[in-house]
Amino acid sequence: MSSTSARPTGAFIAASWAAMFIGAATYLVGLWNANMALNEKGYYLTLLLYGLFAAVSLQKSVRDRMEGIPVTSLYFNLCWLSIGASLTLLAVGLWNATLLDSEKGFYAMGFVLSLFGAVAVQKNVRDASSASRPMSRRDLPPQA
């Protein structure tokens, strides 16, 4: 994609940040108030951090490839593996947790919302950066 890409709207930027913060905050507040052992809370906290990092890394890798920026297949596949691992580990943890089904759904939705928000925030940051960057010779179409 060239630097002529449009800057994201303020509403989309705000919605993206809100989705990430609301998802992460509800997940963390639920974790803080949960009646579970500290090591179990640490497990779920680590999953959130790992999932957020994996989601942002995957979005950046996909975008880099679309723009012709080299990304090794190893790293690209590791990003996909990390997203899958974080979602699988969350599912297994919640399946085996002694929580109400409504609490399990609460954690799952907070987790997924925060991952979606992180991907959208990363996209907006990248779009805003490329929209404000002056066009370089590299961005110009090839001359005939």
d(CA 110, CA 112): 6
The mean pLDDT value of the chain amounts to 86
First-last CA distance in the chain: 20
Domain boundaries, the chain: 10-130
Q: Spell out the per-residue pLDDT of the chain, length 144, in tens.
A: 444 467 888 888 899 999 999 999 999 998 998 888 999 999 999 999 999 999 999 999 998 998 888 999 999 999 999 999 999 999 999 999 888 888 889 899 999 999 999 999 988 888 887 766 665 555 545 555
Which pLDDT score, from 0 to 100, does residue 129 have? 78
Nearest-10 crossing angle of helices 38-66, 10-33: 160
Q: Tens of pLDDT along 113-139?
A: 999 999 999 888 888 877 666 655 555
